[in-house]
Structure 1
Amino acid sequence: MRVILARIGRLALLAAQGPGAWRGIGLYLLVLSLQFAGVWVTVQMINWQKAFYDALEQFDATAALVQIGVFGWLTALSAGSWLAAQWLRKHLLIAWREKLTGRALDLWVNGKAYWYLRPGLSPAPLENPDQRIAEDCAKFIEDFLQFTLDLISRVVSLVTFLSVLWSLSHFPLSLTLGGVDLTIPRYMVWAAFLYVFLSSLLTHALGKPLKNLAFAQERREADFRHALVQIRDQADQIAQAGGEAAELRRTGARFAALKENWKRLITRELVLGLFTRPYQQTVLRIPTFLALPAYFGGAVTLGGLMQLALAFSNVATALSWFIFQYRGLAGFVAVSERLDGLFAAAGNPAPLPDAPSTLERRTATDGILRARGVQLYTPQGRALEGVPDFTLSPGETLWLSGASGRGKSTFLSALRGVWPFGTGVLELPDAPVLALPQVPVSFAEGILPTLTYPHDPAEYDRATLEALLLRVGLGHRLPAQEGPAALQGLSIGERQRLALARVLLLRPDWLILDEATSALDAGAETDLLGLLRAELPRAAILCVAHRPPLALGAHRRLSLSEHGEPEDDESEDKVEPEERKTA
């Protein structure tokens, strides 16, 4: 219980603290005060119960009509306070959800946890992070507000109703057990506690497995939904490969796992409901039965009996909060565990322990990139091909070659600071860097947002952006559309052209090309690389490609050979730009 409460407290602080914290706390207290008003109305209803039924017992029509008016006034006050509390609670929900979601996104994205916490890169990869951020943040705040506000108001109502019940149950219960005469003073008070205590123990015993089953169900639902998202995102590849049967098999298997856990969950809910449902239906009637000895003994009137029963019911209901909310509490605990796990993992994404992670990154004070003694590893600790020592100065081009699987792309990831598995030293200039992968990013907002990514297209003149699209051969995509539809049918080659246009727009000092023109024909590649070098004569370019980047002009070659040793290729340096152009 201490662990659960500590977890909930950490998440609640993340949602409540920061800018506007006092406004949120003020809203919380205002909602709570409205719920206290509801408790006051209920106390008045208890008093009304006696007055109304006494009027009926005495055949006093005038008094009964007055009490009907009082009932209408109390009902309006109760409804108004409840609706106002709900409206304010929803405002608080979205405010705290925004803060918690923002903190989760900040850790997940800015800390590159989205990269590190993947299967194969982490000892504890995070499953379904999209669900935890999108759904669990909202569910946690919703449940937190519901349960804490409800619990506090129930505690207050318990004290209030208990004092009422204590004052009403002034009579004792006398009975004989085994020949012994017993007298229990204020027996209605003790009966309420004993009744609810035994019921709570039974509820916990029957419902204890629900937390783990609820946790597993959320995971199964997320796995199934993720499989459907993958079908949407990979529609072209699936259609061209005729993979419909495989996708049905994959989604079917995930739904089968979902269904199996669902059956276990509803079975356990049925077992719990066999007790809690009858309990909920009888908790308002049992008090009347327990108070009948006092009524038949003449200790209370009919109105007093109804007042006493209502007071007992409210005490029992307040004490039964745990029983009524057990299923929801189990889900709340599961949500808290998932969400706290996200924050813990994203805050300190641990690498796999078998791979060295002592690769040192330094800032080069002279503006020259240097690699010394760099050895990279897979996350499982297998050494990749060694990276020869090299330097790269502004205006130079370095061609990184080697067979597939030698670690070229991994080395580029290490340069960008996202690959932690390695040893040696990298000195990097403090200057703007732009890296283009083989499959460029396609920002779902449309063509122009993809062109300016990660910047906002509103920061640029639209005519300038459209002119760049013309220069890289994407004039047929004008006028540039917005939204996902604009990217529909965009080939890999067109996406690579769009990425190269981004280079012309952002004009970085350091450019990393990782097979960035692999989908272009030789002529288009020559034209576009030549355009890059002409527009960025002072940029240092590190290019990974299977063929020499002739259009980039004079360059040096760095080869990741089978044994991790540099290959001599001095002829590349001797060829002048004009000769390369002819070639």
Structure 2
Amino acid sequence: MSVARPVIGNVWGLVRPYWSGDDRRRAWGLLLTVMVLNLALIAIEVGFNNWNNSFYNALQNLDGGAFRRALLEFCALAAAFILVAVYAQYLQQMLQIRWRQWLTRFVLDQWLGNQAYYRIAQLDPPVDNPDQRIAEDINQFTANTLDLSLGLMRAVVTLLSFLTILWTLSGTLSFAMAGRIVSIPGYMVWVALLYSIAGSWLALKIGYPLIRLNFQQQRYEADFRFGLIRVRENAEAVALYRGEQAEHGELGRRFGLLFDNFYQLMRRQKRLTWFTSAYGQIAIIFPILVAAPRYFAKEIHLGGLMQTVSAFGQVQGAMSWLVSAYPAVADWKATVDRLMTFERGIRRADALEPVEPQCCGNRLAVHGLTLFTPDRRILLEQVQFSLAAGDSLWMRGPSGCGKSTLLKALAGIWPYASGQICLPVAQRVRFLSQRPYLPLGSLRAVLCYPAKAGAIDDRQLVAILHEVGLVHFSNRLDSCESWAHVMSLGEQQRIALARVLLDPPDVLCLDEASSALDEGMELLLYARIAVVMRDGILLSVGHRAGLGQHHRATLDVSRFMPAEPASAIRAMA
């Protein structure tokens, strides 16, 4: 019970939002329709069971008229079964895709909301492969949950429907034991019960490790796929480093984990298949062997024997539902665990509260700001500076001293910080990183991002491409390509700076946003940025000394490192 409660609670936490959400009326309507259709299928199975009696009795009695009537009855039952089965599956799939659509949007809202998609990678340990959990695990969860729940419902209703039939057909088994006559009414029901209990226990014992193996297999598959994507996205860097052997070794290592786990999965599934196949084959002949004594004693006719065998198969199959469904149950349990791990990761990411920037006039100010690494090591402490409209500050210092982390804290995305951050009231703040983000779509959409494509006149776009030295792209505004792969890093940085020139913000923070440019182009673009930002606030991180001439003040960030005393902004000569 202690193990079952967390599982039920986890599943309920994943199921409840949809079935109590805004699509609940259609969801419940579809579910009830599918349930009714499944119940209709069971009613038709009962009809087939009764048909067995009349059909085989007609054969035994050489009754041609009864035989023809039985064939007509079979055609009617078969037609009804086909019709109901088709629409039961169709509507179940409709319910599945609607549930998947709703749950995907729900999880995306959680993942993208409050920047959990970024913070989740800063957890210790981080949550692996969120893309797989959203794209694949949600799909498997909705499909398997419906399949297993409806399968369990069918098993219970089938058991209740055929239990009375089997009890009636079984009669009473009498035999002598220790000089006494022992009578067992409905003996085939008890035989089916013992047979299914033994089978379910053995299936559980053999197949339980599949839950862990399925969980690990999904993880290793995602890790291997992620490694392949990394090589594709960084193909140029790998080629320049001649890193094929290193990448081959890493991909081989990841696939090796996948292979080893899959091999264990194969061996465990082989054991389970040995058992389930034997269990299923024995179940074909077993009820005939058990019912045969009554047939040879002429207590029942051939039709009664076949009806008994059919009813026994339905009862035993319903009782043994876990045996046949256990591989799917193991896979479903692994999927639930992965989704719950992901959901807990999102909650942990939401709990990482960065320093909330406060609004204070027209100044950008930092007071007593201390930055930590995820393992709580102090990176910078007691950082202080203040900038007003028209000010510009160049932050410098050795690599790894915390300059970029400081900008992340200003942007409100670094949760390991304490102190006070003040931003101008109702001002537009923009942060540019060293590697710009280029969305999928046309070059026009890339230049206008984050505004919609077409928000800026094409003549302005062409003019700005000329200004930033990308004139060779000016005739490709309508081209839709993977621009992050088409353009070099320097060209991507010029695209990001072009966005600033097209739509200057009130506060601009540049984190080595021009590091891939040649010095001449960097100074040229900084001169243009200084012009468009003359009434705003400019904050830059960079290493080249030439940047100093475009800023009114400089800040040596290394002075705020724990081993160094805090320092104020040093005015430039």
Note whether the superposition's TM-score is higher than 0.5.
Answer: yes
The residue aligned with 1:384 is 379
- Contact 2:213/2:264, CA 8 A, preserved across alignment: yes
Q: Note the C-alpha offset of 1:159.
A: 0.9
The residue aligned with 2:53 is 50
Distance 2:549 2:22 in 1: 50
| Deviation string, structure 1 residues 242-270 (Cα, Å, up to 9, x no partner) | 00000111111111111111111111111
Q: Note the C-alpha offset of 1:377.
A: 1.9
The residue aligned with 2:127 is 126
Q: % of aligned pairs identical? A: 36
The residue aligned with 1:474 is 470
Q: Note the C-alpha offset of 1:475.
A: 2.3
2:95 matches 1:87: no
Distance 2:403 2:61 in 1: 95
Q: Note the C-alpha offset of 1:407.
A: 0.8
5 Å matches for 1:137-536? 137-169=138-170, 171-349=171-349, 360-386=355-381, 388-430=383-425, 431-477=427-473, 478-536=475-533
Task: Call closer, same or farther: CA 1:142–1:506 in 2, change over 3 Å.
Answer: farther
- Contact 1:492/1:519, CA 8 A, preserved across alignment: yes
Distance 2:189 2:237 in 1: 70
Distance 1:485 1:376 in 2: 36
Distance 1:337 1:291 in 2: 45
| Deviation string, structure 1 residues 376-435 (Cα, Å, up to 9, x no partner) | 122222222445421111222111111222111010000011112222211222422110
The residue aligned with 1:63 is 66
Task: Call closer, same or farther: CA 1:466–1:162 in 2, change over 3 Å.
Answer: farther
Task: Call closer, same or farther: CA 1:201–1:390 in 2, change over 3 Å.
Answer: same
Task: Call closer, same or farther: CA 1:428–1:60 in 2, change over 3 Å.
Answer: same
Q: Note the C-alpha offset of 1:485.
A: 4.1
Distance 1:234 1:176 in 2: 81
Distance 1:101 1:469 in 2: 39
The residue aligned with 2:41 is 38
- Contact 1:359/1:425, CA 8 A, preserved across alignment: no
Task: Call closer, same or farther: CA 1:388–1:337 in 2, change over 3 Å.
Answer: closer
The residue aligned with 1:78 is 81
Distance 1:182 1:46 in 2: 30
The residue aligned with 1:22 is 25
Task: Call closer, same or farther: CA 1:19–1:482 in 2, change over 3 Å.
Answer: farther
| TM-score, with length taken from structure 1 | 0.92
Distance 2:548 2:572 in 1: 16
| Deviation string, structure 1 residues 447-489 (Cα, Å, up to 9, x no partner) | 3333233333255544544443333222211322544444433
Distance 1:568 1:174 in 2: 101
Residue type at the aligned position of 2:213: L
Residue type at the aligned position of 2:118: W
Distance 2:569 2:57 in 1: 107
| Deviation string, structure 1 residues 485-518 (Cα, Å, up to 9, x no partner) | 4443301111011001222334321111111111
- Contact 1:123/1:350, CA 8 A, preserved across alignment: no
SS class of match (2:378) = coil
- Contact 1:16/1:99, CA 8 A, preserved across alignment: no
2:4 matches 1:8: no
- Contact 1:166/1:189, CA 8 A, preserved across alignment: yes
The residue aligned with 2:537 is 540
Unmatched runs of 5 consecutive residues or more in structure 1: 352-356, 573-583
Unmatched runs of 5 consecutive residues or more in structure 2: none
